[in-house]
Structure 1
């Protein structure tokens, strides 16, 4: 299989890279002032949500279907309807993800390849006006 045919999951480094990405994402959520609102949407203990995001990203990036095996179809928008997600929340989420990608995925082209489909996904998750 060529590099272009390999999944993003494999190209970024598999499970260890997903772990780094998710840990860095939630570290950014705790550190970035603009992420206070989205951090407040989470429980104090981030352990359970980290496990869910690791399973989701593993599957979303083309790795094993861990998320679906545990939770069924992702139905992301439906699962997030209880949280007010407007432009500010979307932008804060992307700021955290950009910081995490910078830390966890050293190759700029791979970072861009992961980010490119995340931006419209984050935009699609909006369910309220700011």
Structure 2
């Protein structure tokens, strides 16, 4: 069974000395293009009020294969539009973190007193709160 892939990318612009507005515009344009791709369930670029130096992208894809296809399309886009490419050398001070998750549906198990994956083939994992 294929699991959805959740991707969270956090950009910390606190020490960023590059073209901030152009960089954020590119992130927004990327979100707009990505939402049109097959298998994209959710793609948003967020900037919290009161935290203008933090930009978060959150994505949800139907499967890892579809996410990989999206990633390849991003590379092809930059190859065709090199003026849009922001490389680490062009972005001094930018700090980026990436998080990838296999998103699964969980259910409450009264027997185990825990949330367990609905898909029994991955029941090795469970979320349990103390108490």
TM-score of the pair, normalised by structure 2:
0.38
**Greater strand fraction, Structure 1 or Structure 2:** 2
**Greater helix fraction, Structure 1 or Structure 2:** 1
Structure with higher Rg: it is 2
TM-score of the pair, normalised by structure 1:
0.38
